[in-house]
Amino acid sequence: MHLRLFDIIVIIFYAVLVLAVAHLFQRGGRTDDDDFDERIPKHRALPWWAIGTSLIAANISAEQIIGMSAAAYALGIGIAGYEWLAAFAIVVIAKYFLPIFLKNQVSTMPQFLRLRYGARTQVTLALFWIALYTLVSLTATMWLGANAVHAVTGLSLTMSVVLLGLVAGNYALYVGLKATHFTDVVQVGMLVLSGLVMAMFALEQISAGRGLAAGFTALTTGLPGHFHMILQPDNPYYKYLPGLTALFGSMWIIQFSYWGCNQYIVQRALAASSVREVQRGMILAAFLKLLMPLIVVLPGLAAAYLLPPLSRADAAYPLLMNMLPPGLLGFVFVALVAAIIASTGSTLSSIAKIITNDVVQVLYPKVSRRLLVILGRFTAIAALIVAMALAVPLLSRWDQAFQYIQEYTAFLSPGVVVIFALGLFWPRANETGALLAAAASVLGSGFYALFLPHIPFMVRTGQVFLLCLAFAIGGSLLTKRGQSGIDPSGVDFKTEPSYNAAAGLIVLCLAGLYWYFW
């Protein structure tokens, strides 16, 4: 037990604050309709700065901080490529994807699939997303959160999972299977602040009080092998980040799937008042992504310097937390756990909405509202129980849960990117091609995982992407052209000079970072 009395006081104060904010701003109390709130504001009125910060708030999570820090502990700064390359992907999506979405008044990604292809594509992808959220997102969240609870409190991993699951489930029910926007603001702010506290404290420990710059210099000198963006084939972690293949190949499929086709992320951008406003917000988000490794990567690098070799990299961030003085430990710990609970609630909310709005209502349009509420909650609770049951036996076999998340998310990413890209830019694409692409993505990735496990998952992702593309094009050309409710004609892809200048600056920053840490 590493918590002291001051830490416990901080934890209690924080918990009371978050619950008070949730209670204060729940308008009219909790109702069944909370489970079916609109996925975006009814009026597109968010200013650019709110869009940019909201995108980052939706992206950053406690499991990302623990998971990416673990990856940095093991393989070094190369893992920052997930953050830095996202900046350029955001720029491209803002220029070419979002103008089509906004012109056609698309509100959700499942809605786009229904309008562009049909109900079968909507339901198929919805079921895949439910499986992904349950078996990957929720399971990894339970595991990484349990590692933090285990390291700080001394509880077993299994008991930590059970405790987290019970608290997260009750929290989700208390706020209506969704965290309020106001508690999200509090928790994301505290999570970012706690990440900065961890990074600064670790650098001060490394420099023995001589300052942050001295600490970073000592870190780069003491761990020269951890400061290369491009891993060589003889690196033991090459399988996770296969050199130039990651830089010029499959990393982009992952980025475009997450930032351009993910409802949880894209809904923030779709709440803009205009295309120009959303593009300004996306540029802000891209610049913020360049800074994110300070919070999610630097603590893992510092842990590799300060901690002895660990059997599991996922323990790096929690063990680094234990070096904090009383008070600070309580603050960082409760911010981390509270954010895990909140992100679990958001995931449960997504599962409930997908099963009701994108599966049940599509297949059975006349189903009652009350039954939809029951089905949504039952599915969310079942997903949480499955994740709790699988977390320890499944993730304990992995050195890094972050790599588990990326590898199994990539089962769906190639097909999703093909379906959306062709749907946006190739009028001939139809539902047959889309369904074939989805099947090829899951089955092709599964074949590689079972029979060719030695192939790095990023190499697999690129090859499966080409397979999905071939199936989607072939299936579309060999069958009748379907009806589309999406009209890409007449969309203005021109951007403001300030946008072009900012995009150029981002490219220069990326080139400089990769050159410096090559």
Local confidence band at 25 (pLDDT 50, 70, 90 cut-offs): low
Residue 1 has pLDDT above 70, yes or no: no
CA distances, 191 to each of 128, 279, 281 (Å): 30, 26, 22
Say which residue, 117 or 488, is predicted with more confidence. 117
Q: What pLDDT score does 40 carry?
A: 43
| Least confident segment among 4-8, 205-209, 269-273, 510-514 | 269-273
Work out the average pLDDT over 449-454. 92
CA distance 322 to 3: 9
Q: What pLDDT score does 440 carry?
A: 97
- Confirm if 149 and 322 have CB atoms less than 8 A apart: no
79-110 tens-digit pLDDT: 999 999 999 999 999 999 999 998 888 878 88
Choices 1.20.1730.10, 3.50.50.60, 3.30.43.10, 2.120.10.30: CATH for 5-409+488-516: 1.20.1730.10
Local confidence band at 344 (pLDDT 50, 70, 90 cut-offs): confident
CA distance 29 to 106: 30
Local confidence band at 462 (pLDDT 50, 70, 90 cut-offs): very high
Say which residue, 414 or 6, is predicted with more confidence. 414
Residue 139 has pLDDT above 90, yes or no: yes
Averaged pLDDT score across all residues of the chain = 87
Work out the average pLDDT over 187-193. 78
Identify the residue whose tokens are 């918990």: 15
Output the six-digit token pair for 32: 């069944």
Neighbours of 101 (CB within 10 A): 25
Does residue 82 sit in helix, strand or coil? helix
Angle at 303 between CA 228 and CA 211, to 5 degrees: 90
CA distance 164 to 18: 17
Q: What pLDDT score does 169 carry?
A: 83
CA distance 336 to 342: 10
Q: What pLDDT score does 183 carry?
A: 62
What residues does 272 pair with on adjacent strands?
A: 46
Q: For residue 160, how many C-alpha atoms fall within 13 Å in the half-sphere facing its CB?
A: 21
Of 144, 85, 118, 137, the closest CA to residue 411 belongs to 137
- Confirm if 125 and 418 have CB atoms less than 8 A apart: no
CA distance 9 to 29: 29
Burial label for 273, CB within 10 Å (0-12, 13-18, 19+), is middle
214-269 tens-digit pLDDT: 999 999 999 998 999 999 998 889 999 998 888 888 899 999 999 999 877 787 78
Q: What pLDDT score does 347 carry?
A: 83
Identify the residue whose tokens are 């990567």: 297
Query: In sequence order, which residues have a C-beta less than 8 Å from that of residue 414 and are 6 or more positions away?
Result: 253, 441, 444, 445, 461, 464, 465, 467, 468
CA distances, 515 to each of 100, 155, 241, 245, 509 (Å): 35, 44, 17, 17, 10
390-438 tens-digit pLDDT: 999 999 888 889 999 999 999 999 999 999 999 999 999 999 999 999 9
Work out the average pLDDT over 156-168. 91
279-334 tens-digit pLDDT: 999 999 999 999 999 999 999 999 999 998 998 899 999 999 989 998 889 888 88
CA distance 302 to 218: 10
Of 322, 408, 403, 4, the closest CA to residue 148 belongs to 322
Q: What pLDDT score does 311 carry?
A: 86
Q: What pLDDT score does 468 carry?
A: 97
Query: In sequence order, which residues have a C-beta less than 8 Å from that of residue 365 and are 6 or more positions away?
Result: none
Residue 455 has pLDDT above 80, yes or no: yes
Residue 180 has pLDDT above 60, yes or no: no
Percent of the chain with pLDDT over 90: 56
Does residue 350 sit in helix, strand or coil? helix
User: What are the start-end ranges of the H helices in 60-138?
Assistant: 62-75, 81-96, 98-103, 109-116, 119-132
- Whether the pTM exceeds 0.75: the reply is yes
Residue 171 has pLDDT above 90, yes or no: no
Residue 170 has pLDDT above 50, yes or no: yes
Q: What pLDDT score does 128 carry?
A: 94
Local confidence band at 349 (pLDDT 50, 70, 90 cut-offs): confident
Q: What pLDDT score does 45 carry?
A: 65
| Least confident segment among 370-374, 383-387, 437-441, 465-469 | 370-374
27-72 tens-digit pLDDT: 554 444 444 444 444 445 678 887 888 788 778 877 788 999 999 9
User: Could you say which DSSP state residue 482 is in?
Assistant: P
Work out the average pLDDT over 166-175. 77
Q: What pLDDT score does 515 carry?
A: 94
